[in-house]
Amino acid sequence: MKALRKYYVIAKVSFTNALAYRASVFSRFGFFTLYIYVFMSLWRAIYQEGAVHGYSYAQMVWYLIMTEFVSFFCGAEILQKMNEEVKSGSIAYLLGRPSHYIFYQLANSLGQVPLNFVSFGALATVLGLLFVGPLHSFTPLELAPLLLSILLSILLNFFFLTLIGLTAFVLEDNLALYLIYQKLSFMLGMFLPVEFLPAWLQPVAKNLPFSYIYWAPAKIFVNYSPALCLELIPRQAAWAAAAAAAALLCYQLSIRRLQVNGG
């Protein structure tokens, strides 16, 4: 309990920081609006050419709004921060603190979530209503499983980024790894629902963790059913647990390689 309390304090400090520098959140509103506008325009053009299997135009736009919404939580700041800390040696200051490095970073990241959730949530709702109107299939019943799915997406993405960040201990540069991870998660759920992939690729995508970052919460949002939640949420939880275990193991192995020179 005492251990949890210190991570709660770290998250609280991070939240206070986020509130103090809230202007940076609002400056990202422009990017969010731009991406939604571009995809809305593109899919409108696609739907004008013919029907797209399984999703109405409004569902597709809301799907993309949800994936963008999740992606604006799951920023790559943690990766950049870890790279800098490992390369500059400033990680030594964090290792001396009475907290686990990975959980310290997790608490720090989670502290940013409430402000992002409220601000981007409000913007996403306004844009969706403005561009395509309300999502008629949405019911308040799905709010709890949806929030759980979003939280699992954040955790899954965090532990993947941590895994990539830990490669800074051994690699001169890990940008290529990040780009590959980013594009796999973009193509297997963020830009396209898994159902749009070729038939041979769909089972592959569903058995990989990348689809569970964006596709799972967006699919639950636009196509809610209790059966779907029971299918997707346990898989998200399993992948998040596996990614967390892998990150903790890699951290234990990586920290042995750390060399910090005083100065």
User: Which residues of the chain form contacts with another protein (CB under 8 A)?
Assistant: 27, 30-31, 34-35, 38, 41-42, 44-46, 49-50, 52-53, 171-173, 175-180, 182-184, 186-187, 191-192, 196-198
CB of 35 to another protein, least distance (A): 8
Residue with Cβ nearer another protein (36 or 244): 36
Residue with Cβ nearer another protein (22 or 183): 183
Spatial distance between the Cα atoms of 208 and 185, rounded to a whole number of angstroms: 10
Residue with Cβ nearer another protein (26 or 93): 26
Residue with Cβ nearer another protein (174 or 236): 174
Reference 144, options 224, 211, 70; nearest CA is 224
Spatial distance between the Cα atoms of 87 and 109, rounded to a whole number of angstroms: 20
What is the DSSP track for 122-169?
HHHHHHHHHHH---TT--GGGHHHHHHHHHHHHHHHHHHHHHHHHGGG
CB of 44 to another protein, least distance (A): 7
CB of 39 to another protein, least distance (A): 9
Residue with Cβ nearer another protein (105 or 119): 119
Spatial distance between the Cα atoms of 247 and 27, rounded to a whole number of angstroms: 32
Residue with Cβ nearer another protein (5 or 49): 49
Spatial distance between the Cα atoms of 246 and 252, rounded to a whole number of angstroms: 10
CB of 197 to another protein, least distance (A): 7
C-beta separation of 220 from 149 below 8 A: yes
Which amino acid is residue 214, in one-letter code? Answer: Y
CB of 217 to another protein, least distance (A): 20
For tokens 């699992």, what's the residue? 152
CB of 62 to another protein, least distance (A): 18
Spatial distance between the Cα atoms of 228 and 217, rounded to a whole number of angstroms: 11
